Amino acid sequence: MSLTTADVKRMAHLARIEVSDDDAEATLKKLSGILKLIEQMQSVDTTGIQPMSHSQDLVQRLREDVVTETNQRESFQAIAPAVEDGLYLVPKVIE
């Protein structure tokens, strides 16, 4: 995909950014370089390569999943304006 200076100026206009002719030329060169890099990356054959969620194979240190607080559901629902079958009742807000 090739861009022109007019394309850069149109994108700048859509983004509400004022761009001079010199800045448009410099931006055009940078964007063209990025697009060329993307084309190179898309041309690589990735058949048989499993996608990765992260570039490094790291494992998070997780804490144990244990209950640290007592169940206070009854006391919270005792002060609620409206409760039915253990659920909070709220006014309908969408018709």
CATH number of residue 18's parent domain: 1.10.20
Taking only the tens place, the pLDDT of each residue in 29-70 is 999 999 999 999 999 999 998 888 888 878 888 989 999 999
Structural domain total, the chain: 1
CA–CA dist 93, 89 (Å, integer): 12
Asked whether residue 35 is assigned to any structural domain, the reply reads yes
Q: What is the mean pLDDT of residues 15-41?
A: 94
Q: From 36, 35, 21, select the one nearest 5 (Cα to Cα).
A: 21
**Domain of 11, in residue numbers:** 5-43
In this predicted structure, the answer to whether residue 24 has a pLDDT above a threshold of 80 is yes
Residue 79: both structure tokens together = 């002060």
Looking at residue 1, its pLDDT comes to 67
pLDDT classification of 26: cutoffs 50, 70, 90: very high
